[in-house]
A and B are shown apart, each in its own frame.
Chain A
Amino acid sequence: MEYFADIASFWKIAVAIYAGTACLSYLIFALMAGVALQQHERVSETGNLNGVLSSTFAPKVTVIAPAFNESMSIVENIRGLLTLKYNKLEIVIVNDGSKDDTLQKAIREFNLEKVYYPFDYEIDCKPIRGIYKSRNKALEKLIVVDKENGGKADALNAGVNVCRSDLFMAMDVDSLIDREAVLKLIRPFLKETSKKVIAVGAVVRVANSCRIAGGNVSKVHVPRNLWARFQALEYIRAFLIGRMAWKKIDGLLLISGAIGMFDIPTVKKCGGYLKSTVGEDMELLVRMRRYMCEKKRPYIVDFVPDPLCWTEVPESLKTLGRQRNRWMRGTMDTLRLHKRMFLNPKYKAVGTLGYPYWMFFEWLAPIFEFTGIIFFIALAFTGQIQWNYALILLAFVYMFAVTISSWAILLEAFTFHKYDKPSHIGSLLFTALIEPLIYHPLTVWWGIRGNIDYLRGVSSWGAQERKGFSKKKTIK
């Protein structure tokens, strides 16, 4: 019993330190994000982005969109990409060995023909069966690559091998990209002079329940489905607070696979996307950062807070759980692969702050929380809980979580103001109130499952179910 009491007191101290550090870091992030957003607003007013459009000085950019069994939406998605505002643009669609008629549909719709198109397998990818270009000269910027199935990372690598630009924008073919996305993402690459910009990320928002027209979001709406609404709030919080703060600290470890622009020579030198991981987006950025630090080259990873990508999030618990499980495995894999960066000052803010944060508050957080709950139950059974203390502490944690979410909603309302109706704000605030009670425990559980699956060696992506934008109410 005495032994149990010792563990209990040790655990109490550990939990207090952990919770205190977490709360403090969230508080700092929230404040830093506010400052960073304000700075961005000032900077974005200057200059003329339209001047970049036709400038001879502007670099060529390739958009790489991997497609696997996208027969239902491939035509609409390619059409959406063709409307992107940028002159020196190349669009590479990589058909990753689809089993349906994705390629045939694209060939038929865009009048494609197989062409002779030399390239090098500079970074590892599965064999490319053919490269297609349109007979229509107006679609000259479109390139369709047909390759053997190898997964998303492999398809992106194939795209990088084929493209002939200095920069590429990686995206999910089923996401909706803002027409000005390339222009806005390229801005940091054009501006920075003393450091090399190796990657730029942007905000991803939830497109569920939004009205879609011509491959773009024409009217924003808070998701009607509760699970999607939880994720909408989570995305606002993660992108507007988390990513903006990490950008300011220069410790950003993740650029979403749904949208991001990268420097091609650096990606090639790093060996491209890692095929054996399910968190290829995070792993690539960490590897790029590691490479630049080891070569002692000054560099920067930037982040644009503009919502440039709209994605459809899972609306069923099963699919959502699978997605979160995969994200957890991806995080663990990246942290394991780059463990030498942990608290290593050689890697600057990434090694000393970014990596430890991801380790303790992303990977280990579900484990801490889960064991905490188990321990709490054990203490309750042995009558060792001071209920007044415990209840007040729980109230504090709950209130703190809601405050951070409210702050994120406040930042959104002050900056991009995408949710413009009072009912939208009301709905998001209500979601913030119930999120810690319903959604958060589930994310803890999925995190635990991810940990178990990772230790068991599970490396699959898990089946993805998407309704697709074309099935919803669309206006053409």
Chain B
Amino acid sequence: MEDLSSNIIQESTSTIISYVGLSAMALTVIIISVTLFLLIRQYFFRKRAAKHLRKNQKYNDLLIDCLLSDDKEVSTICRLKGKSEKKYLFDSVIFLMHNFSGEFSDKIKDLFYNLGLEKYIIKKLKSKKWWIVAQGLRDARTMEFHEAVPYAEKYIDDTHLELRVEAQISVMALKTRDPFEFLSQLHRPFSLWARIHLYQEIAKWEQKPDAAEWLKVDNPGVVSFALRVMGNLKQATNNREISQLITDPLAAIRSEAVYYFALTNNRELWLKSAMKYKAEEPEVRQRIGQTANMLSDIPLSMLIQWFNWEKSTPVKIELAKAMRNHDHSKDLQNIELAALETVA
């Protein structure tokens, strides 16, 4: 019995040894393969990068020649069409489009459609991979490819934030009727990332949209965005309608509303917000303090009263700055500095 058990142990030990040995050998093979692969790739990577650069340069030159020549319809397009490497051509057109404007960009667009390169955009838009669709949407915007709108509308509330933002910008940029309709369809939170990119697009437009329309949307992110856009573009709106925002349950919206009042020089509503400082959250109080400098004729008595009541140093600092700006008397500065020194 003892012999049997020792035999079993010996056998199992030798099995383990052979497994471990095999694993060690497999790892050795992996290491050698990785090493060789890396070194070979490094070599070819450089070669390929140089080739890409050469090809792109070639197509860039060819396209520029084409754009500068008058008989582009005949000879140059034929030359370009004759090339099999249309992918390089597509990349070059997109690249040039980013670097030219005015008459040249119109010519590039004509050339793009004449060569039938929009099929690459459609191919990307039909992809099942979100990052490829995002790429397609970017290209569609660059080439003002309006047929991309239905594709973009599919993704305006997508789970992928990046794709969502690309789709929203694309709808805004390419849709001719109601380009902001999608704002009322957003159920997901409206990130700062999206706001930055959408505002960037709006800034390019000659005719700005009426952002007051978006205040009716349920999404608080959209309301904040609307207020900022209205403020930056100095779009005044009905006081009765907007005064409701002073009592909005969300501090972020109240804060944004205060900023809007200051930007549009709406002293009446700004004061209405400021007067209820005791009931406000520090975030909103700080915003009121920050914007106090932007308006004229702020009652000094209110600022002093508030300053003496205030506990938060950042708010106190803002109020002190406002007081300094509104009254340059020496006495006030001394009071203010003495009070601030007790804080610091």
A47:B165 contact, CB within 8 angstroms: yes
Given contacts A46-B131, A193-B188, contact A116 B228 (CB under 8 A): no
Given contacts A57-B228, A191-B193, contact A392 B17 (CB under 8 A): yes
| Chain A binder among B22-30, B82-90, B145-153 | B22-30
Interface string of B129-155 (1 = CB under 8 A from A): 011001100100000000000000000
Chain B contacts with A in 34-74, Cβ cutoff 8 A:
34-35, 37-39, 41-43, 45-46
Interface string of A185-219 (1 = CB under 8 A from B): 00101111110000000000000000000000000
| Chain B binder among A83-91, A243-251, A284-292, A406-414 | A406-414
- A119 nearest CB neighbor, chain B only: B344
- B344 nearest CB neighbor, chain A only: A118
B20:A118 contact, CB within 8 angstroms: no
Residues in A whose Cβ lies below 8 Å from that of B193: 47, 187, 190-191
The docked-state distance in angstroms from the alpha carbon of A57 to that of B232 is 11
Residues in B whose Cβ lies below 8 Å from that of A374: none
- At the interface, yes or no: B11 with Cβ under 8 Å from chain A? no
- A389 nearest CB neighbor, chain B only: B17
Whole-angstrom distance between the Cβ of A154 and the nearest chain B Cβ: 18
- At the interface, yes or no: A395 with Cβ under 8 Å from chain B? yes
* B interface, over-half SS: helix
B34:A406 contact, CB within 8 angstroms: yes
A46:B162 contact, CB within 8 angstroms: yes
B189:A194 contact, CB within 8 angstroms: yes
- At the interface, yes or no: B294 with Cβ under 8 Å from chain A? no
* A interface, over-half SS: helix
Residues in A whose Cβ lies below 8 Å from that of B27: 396, 399-400, 402-403
Interface string of A108-151 (1 = CB under 8 A from B): 00000000111110100000000000000000000000000000
Whole-angstrom distance between the Cβ of B313 and the nearest chain A Cβ: 4
A118:B313 contact, CB within 8 angstroms: yes
Given contacts A46-B131, A389-B17, A395-B24, contact A413 B38 (CB under 8 A): yes
The docked-state distance in angstroms from the alpha carbon of A395 to that of B26 is 11
A120:B343 contact, CB within 8 angstroms: yes
The docked-state distance in angstroms from the alpha carbon of A417 to that of B23 is 30
A192:B199 contact, CB within 8 angstroms: no
Residues in A whose Cβ lies below 8 Å from that of B30: 403, 406
Interface string of A201-245 (1 = CB under 8 A from B): 000000000000000000000000000000000000000000000
- At the interface, yes or no: B216 with Cβ under 8 Å from chain A? no
- At the interface, yes or no: A476 with Cβ under 8 Å from chain B? no
- At the interface, yes or no: B195 with Cβ under 8 Å from chain A? yes
The docked-state distance in angstroms from the alpha carbon of A422 to that of B38 is 8
Picked from B13, B24, B190, B320, the residue with its CB within 8 Å of the CB of A396 is: B24
Residues in B whose Cβ lies below 8 Å from that of A413: 38, 41-42, 45
Residues in A whose Cβ lies below 8 Å from that of B314: 164
B24:A45 contact, CB within 8 angstroms: no
Most chain A CB neighbours (cut-off 10 Å) among B43, B163, B317: B317
11 of the cross-chain contacts (CB-CB < 8 Å) are A45-B134, A46-B134, A47-B165, A57-B199, A118-B320, A120-B344, A193-B188, A193-B191, A193-B221, A402-B31, A413-B45
A118-B340, A426-B39 known; 14 new pairs, CB 8 Å cut-off, are A43-B162, A45-B134, A45-B135, A46-B163, A47-B165, A48-B197, A56-B232, A120-B344, A190-B191, A190-B192, A193-B189, A389-B16, A396-B20, A421-B42
Chain A: residues with CB nearer than 8 A to chain B? 42-43, 45-48, 51-52, 55-59, 116-120, 122, 164, 187, 189-194, 386, 388-389, 392-393, 395-396, 399-400, 402-403, 406-407, 409-410, 413, 417, 420-422, 425-426, 429
